Amino acid sequence: MEEHAEYKEAAAGPHFVGRKEDLIKDKRSFRTVEGRDILVLHHQGIFYALDFHCYHAGGPLQNGDIEEFGGKLCIVCPKHKYKICLADGEGLYKYKDPRAPEPTPRWLSKGIKQRVHTVTETDGDVYVTLSSFSHFIDSDYFQGEKGKIERERL
């Protein structure tokens, strides 16, 4: 399969990923849904689901710290510390205007870099519906065969 092929939205879901109480206890859970590796995490009462492998170089996000940057809740990739917004997969970077007399750092967006998925709950069961956004998002690369080989070299 071509690595940059359009994202397949066929079996988007919802797919059962676990009982709510188990997922809360585990906080972060690795799941494979329709062949896609995802991270389901529970933080401050909210479930999130996003691609498991970081968009930068495929690092596993499971043990990333969760912090706020510019008012946005992000997971920090343990590999090279990239910041990824949990709500929408936006990548953030710190910017300082070098021409400013006293440069104040600000967090700016690189755009959507990590594919995020929708989490729903019914009667204590938790489901993930895969993202239906049909265009390539950087994290898609590390779900494909070439990305898998690259991940394993890291």
Q: Which of 79, 109, 118, 133 binds ligand FES (CB under 6 A)?
A: 79
- In sign, the C-alpha dihedral spanning 40, 44, 45, 48 is negative
Interface with ligand FES, residue 94, by CB under 6 A = no
Interface with ligand FES, residue 52, by CB under 6 A = no
- Provide the CA 45 distance to its chain's centre, in angstroms: 18
Per CB under 6 A, the segment of 9-17, 25-33, 51-59, 133-141 that binds ligand FES is 51-59
- In angstroms, give the least distance from the CB of 72 to ligand FES: 17
Close Cβ partners of 97 (under 8 Å, ≥ 6 residues apart): 103
Residue type for 30, please?
F
Q: Which is nearer to ligand FES, 59 or 147 (CB)?
A: 59
Angle at Cα 49 formed by Cα 45 and Cα 53, nearest 5°? 130
Phi then psi for residue 57, to 5 deg, are -145, 20
Q: Which is nearer to ligand FES, 18 or 64 (CB)?
A: 64
Residue with tokens 């896609």: 36
Per CB under 6 A, the segment of 21-29, 42-50, 77-85, 119-127 that binds ligand FES is 77-85
Q: Which of 23, 36, 59, 127 binds ligand FES (CB under 6 A)?
A: 59
Interface with ligand FES, residue 91, by CB under 6 A = no
Q: Are 138 and 113 in contact (CB under 8 A)?
A: yes
Name the site residues for ligand FES (rule: CB under 6 A): 54, 56-59, 77, 79-80, 82
